[in-house]
Amino acid sequence: MATSFASATGAPEVGNVATPINSSAVARTYINNLPAYRAGLSPFSRGLEVGIAHGYWFYGPFALLGPLRNTDYSSVAGALSAVSFVFILTVAIAIYSATSPSGPEGTLTTPNPPESYATREGWSNFASGFFIGGCGGAVFAFLLTQSPHLLPLQAIFGGM
């Protein structure tokens, strides 16, 4: 039995085919509420939200799995590594913005992507927000791990 899939462009060979996952209302609602696609946000605000989340989550692997993981400096090394990684990613975004990116194409899940992704200024504002948010997220994660109120949790989960 052949399955007929709809496509955003009408041509299935483009590769943007509707599946039960990407065309469901739940998936579309979730993706369209992410900061990258949410309506009404400035590029700086988008970058800030994305940066905060990434900086916060980058801290853990660097602190717990880095080369200084079994030393007293693992927390500081994790924070510095996370901030450094955010800086490297910000430079990558800046390089991308210098290439004069064309506007994003709509897909089944995100039919109306923000127009700010089509300009250098939009990407530059996104990169600025990403850097500030990423550094803030990494510092916040570091401060959380230094909080004495988390000592009972550290004992439960094996310490840091």
- Per-residue pLDDT band for 19 (boundaries 50, 70, 90) equals confident
What distance in Å separates the CA atoms of residue 96 and residue 21, rounded to the nearest whole number?
30
What distance in Å separates the CA atoms of residue 155 and residue 159, rounded to the nearest whole number?
5
**pLDDT at residue 2, rounded to an integer:** 44
Total domains, the chain: 1
The mean pLDDT of the chain is 84
Question: What confidence tens digit (pLDDT) does each residue in 34-84 have?
Answer: 898 888 899 999 999 999 999 999 999 999 998 998 888 999 999 999 999
Q: Please indicate, yes or no, if residue 26 is contained in any of the structural domains.
A: no
Q: Please indicate, yes or no, if residue 34 is contained in any of the structural domains.
A: no
The region, left, alpha or beta by phi > 0 then psi within -120 to 50, assigned to residue 105 is beta
CATH of the domain at 85: 1.20.1240.10
Q: Which residue has the tokens 């462009």?
A: 9
26 compared with 158, residue with greater pLDDT: 26
Q: Please indicate, yes or no, if residue 47 is contained in any of the structural domains.
A: yes
Percentage of the chain with pLDDT > 70? 82
Query: Residues 138, 56: contact at Cβ < 8 Å?
Result: yes
Q: Please indicate, yes or no, if residue 25 is contained in any of the structural domains.
A: no
Q: Please indicate, yes or no, if residue 45 is contained in any of the structural domains.
A: yes
Question: What confidence tens digit (pLDDT) does each residue in 77-109 have?
Answer: 999 999 999 999 999 999 988 887 787 777 777
Q: Please indicate, yes or no, if residue 143 is contained in any of the structural domains.
A: yes
Q: Please indicate, yes or no, if residue 29 is contained in any of the structural domains.
A: no
Q: What is the extent of the structural domain holding 123?
A: 41-156
- pLDDT at residue 3 greater than cutoff 80: no
- pLDDT at residue 6 greater than cutoff 70: no
Q: Please indicate, yes or no, if residue 56 is contained in any of the structural domains.
A: yes
Question: Which residue in 135, 157, 122 sits closest to 36, CA to CA?
Answer: 122
Radius of gyration of the chain measured on its C-alpha atoms:
20
